[in-house]
Chain A
Amino acid sequence: MINFERFELNNGLKVIVHQDKSTPIVAFNLLYDVGARDESPERTGFAHLFEHLMFGGSINISDYDEVVEKAGGQNNAFTSNDITNYYITLPKENLEHAFRLESDRMLGLAFTPKSLEVQRQVVIEEFKQNYLNQPYGDIHLLLRPLAYQKHPYQWPTIGKEVSHIEEATMEEVKNFFYKHYAPNNAILVVAGDVDLNHVKLLSEKWFGPIPLRDTPKRDLPKEPRQEAARTLKVERDVPVDVIYKAFHMCARTDIDFFATDLISDILSRGNSSRLYNSLVKDQKLFSDIDAFIGGELDEGLFYFAGKLTPGVSMEDAEAGIDAEIGKLKLFLVDEKELRKVKNKAISAHKFSELNVLNKAINLATSELMGDASLVNKQIDLYEGVTASKIKDVAQDVFRKANSNTLYYHAK
């Protein structure tokens, strides 16, 4: 159970405060409601490039990192298809530095040409390091456009291609900032040994003067229901064959999310899971196989990812996955197995609440989904999943017509 208080400034900034007196560290987490899904198809990778630019100096503070380091803090950020999230952990005595830094970045960036030039290069190197100069690195570059034809989840956060990053102009960068980086498009969470009134005071002082901005209402194309199976076959210079299957699933805010998540646990959480025991141990079709959900906020994907045992054909490997899917669609999960995956999910949730930064990020994303208190409802929502619900969801998600299969062959 995470206790918290919530208030909103006149400019629309939502602030959540969680008090935890046991830690010397404060987590300061600022979430902006903008991700790769908000990019134009001609300028993909922009939200992520922008995350880099946020460290290139703001209106009044030229070196962000230096201030954090002097304050004895650490900071980082991540971009997903849905959000861009910035965080600082620092000694509680130096908390106000975090307010000064983040409010100045929200007020405006320095937008120096040098920063754009350098970060463009850095991001291109990141693109190469993780996606191009890496065996299997391009899988998500191939799979996403296969699965999505309309919704902007069709590209990964790094972007569709290097050229989109190469061609970004300062004008576009500025527009992106004023369109998405605004108090009324952000959620701030302060967690640690802090006092609500003190946080209110600091929030008013530093963020209060920033004007509300005109942010566009999100209106993304909805992905039509997939009615025919899609496949893609590629050959690459890699050591072993790999198969990926992706099925469309519900949104993060849908009640079926919890059943879908438990299905991925039944299939592949831990060594007692079905895929490992059936496909790796008994049939030896795969040396390794995983089932997992992407965790996106809009309608996301349910993935299977397997490395084939040398000598096994793609057809046999795929038939093995299909057979396990078939069981879920046909039979009810027994009570003991269901209890097991619920216990495991609940315990994972509890362990995640040991760390003050995790708590802050969980609160921020829950608030984004509509209500910070969702964070305290997770356990009940997992508890509420029934065996018949799991069967229904499996039947709906694992339709053949809903499948996107990538056959990744070794040359």
Chain B
Amino acid sequence: MLDRKKEMHFQEINMPDFIVPKRFQLTNNLQVYAMEGGGQELCRLDLVFEAGSKIQNKALQASLTNALLLEGTANKKGEEIHESLDFYGAYTQVDVNSDRAVVSLFTLNKYFNEVLPLFIDALKNPIFPEDEFQIALAQKKQSFRINSEKVEFIARNTFFNTLFGTHPYGFSVTLEDFDRITRQDLVDFHTANYKNAALNVYIAGMLPSNTESMLNEYLGTWALKASNSLDVYSPVHKTEKTHLFKDAAMQSAIRIGRSCFNTHHEDYQPLKFLSVVLGGYFGSRLMSNIREDKGLTYGIGAMCVQQEECGYFCISTEVKGESTQLALQEIYLELKRLREALIPEKELSLVKNYIMGQILKSADGPFAQISLLKNMHIQGTDFEFYDSYQEMLNQLDANLLKDLANKYLKEEDLCEIVVGNTSE
């Protein structure tokens, strides 16, 4: 008879086998990381640029440059470029955050020779046509106006602004910024931060045999400038509590957190672990209490986020408006528990397994692994980081984590932003 109640043995999860990327340099010393495999005649190419919003001179400069990269050159209109890329079934993706911009190409191998030259030409020689610029600007402005109605959006912006003040990490766009930005700002930003500045190149999939020579031909001539030197920034520590009332809001958006450090700080990984215990997975303490026990929210999370110059810790949720005070009280109670009581061994080992499972999933095939490697490089690490990771995890114990909570997560040391129903 099958005993369904009996818990079965859990196999320990070992580090996955990371694919050792093939590395080669193009004639201009540009570094390429290549990962072979995937079982489909497809490949993806990612180019990473130091073109994040923190180096812009004007609001919207980085994001609009990024959004309009493929919208037209002196010889080809944007629609011609897209027409050709679409015809070959190719996809492009552009992305930008405070630190970096990433431009990606997804293509069938059989059209690699046609698609690559098109893509690189568009990326290297855009003229940012006025017409395209105005359309994108109008779109972004409209999305901004819509987002400005959302409690979550207001809370997020207020949170960053409180934490990082006048540093670019604390910056948020205003409606007036949309009238100040010009096409020329994009041209200037592109010249300075894309045209002469490719950082790293990543390619994965069942790579076409001429990959290296093709990359050399189209990327090897790219003039490179040295990387920007890295600033480390230590913001003045803030502990403000800001409550903004929003009329007719059914829910309140809550952000509680603080600025901290980047991945190179010795406390980064332990604090990240602690944030998982608190609110990093479905069974976490915040989810168990605020959602699964009290039903105050659809979701609540805590995270420790890396940024190149200074990361942050943040708890975020949207809760039932009339229960805002109860939610705040319970969040602080969970923080207090981390500071005052040891995390039980059972919970520690569960979270360790959970994290190992996440790593395993992020290593699911060459496409996932190249993406992981790229992100690790952006954070200033490498797959070698994982050599000692499991050991680091095993050494994390309840006492150390309790000390850490007392060092970083005291109620009086955290900022609190509430947008929505702020009545007591």
* Chain A residues proximal to chain B, CB less than 8 Å: 20, 22-25, 59-61, 63, 65-67, 69-75, 89-91, 93-94, 96-97, 100, 103-104, 107, 117-123, 125-126, 128-130, 132-136, 205-206, 209, 237-240, 269-272, 277, 280-281, 284, 287-288, 307, 309-310, 336, 339-341, 343-344, 346-348, 350-351, 353-356
Contacts and interface: CB of A to CB of B under 8 A. Distances in A.
Interface of B: 2, 4-5, 7-8, 10-11, 13, 16-17, 37-42, 71, 78-79, 82-83, 85-91, 106-108, 131-132, 135, 138-139, 142, 145-146, 148-151, 248-251, 281-283, 291-298, 318-320, 349-351, 353-354, 356-358, 360-361, 363-365, 367-368
Given A74-B361, A121-B295, A350-B108, A205 B2 contact: yes
Contact of B13 (A72, A270, A344, A346): A72
A351 B294 CA distance: 41
A347 B105 CA distance: 13
A281 B151 contact: no
Contact of B83 (A22, A73, A136, A272): A272
Top 5 nearest A-B pairs (CB, nearest first) are A121-B295, A72-B357, A347-B89, A343-B89, A93-B11
A350 B111 CA distance: 14
B142 A287 contact: yes
A118 B146 contact: no
A133 B360 contact: no
Contact of B135 (A120, A280, A310, A340): A280
A132 B250 contact: yes
B168 to A, nearest CB: 27
Contacts of B40: 350-351, 353-354
A271 B82 CA distance: 6
Nearest to A89: B361
A350 B283 CA distance: 35
A71 B13 CA distance: 8
Given A25-B360, A128-B250, A354-B38, A69 B295 contact: no
Nearest to B152: A129
B78 A271 contact: yes
8 contacts: A71-B10, A72-B10, A73-B357, A121-B294, A271-B71, A272-B82, A347-B107, A348-B89
Given A205-B2, A272-B86, A336-B87, A354 B142 contact: no
A96 B350 contact: no
B365 to A, nearest CB: 6
A69 B365 contact: no
Contacts, number: 202
B289 to A, nearest CB: 11
Contacts of A70: 10, 349-350, 353-354
B86 A340 contact: yes
A52 B39 CA distance: 36
Which of B8, B319, B351 is packed against the most chain A CB atoms within 10 Å? Answer: B8
A125 B360 contact: no
Contact of B296 (A72, A121, A341, A344): A121
Contact of B360 (A60, A91, A120, A284): A91
Nearest to B17: A24
A25 B297 contact: no
A134 B108 CA distance: 39
Given A91-B360, A270-B86, 8 more contacts: A121-B296, A129-B318, A239-B145, A240-B142, A272-B83, A272-B85, A309-B138, A344-B86
A180 B121 CA distance: 56
Contacts of A22: 37-39, 365
A243 to B, nearest CB: 14
A128 B295 CA distance: 13
Contacts of B250: 128, 132-133
Contacts of A67: 7
Nearest to B106: A351
A291 to B, nearest CB: 15
B348 to A, nearest CB: 12
B295 A125 contact: yes
A100 B135 contact: no
B229 to A, nearest CB: 37
B10 to A, nearest CB: 5
A271 B356 CA distance: 40
B297 to A, nearest CB: 5
B146 A238 contact: yes
Contacts of A344: 86, 89
Contacts of B38: 22, 354
A185 B249 CA distance: 41
A24 B360 contact: yes
Nearest to A104: B4
Contact of B139 (A126, A129, A237, A288): A288
B295 A72 contact: no
Given A125-B296, A238-B149, A343-B89, A23 B13 contact: no
B104 to A, nearest CB: 12
A24 B16 contact: yes
A287 B139 contact: yes
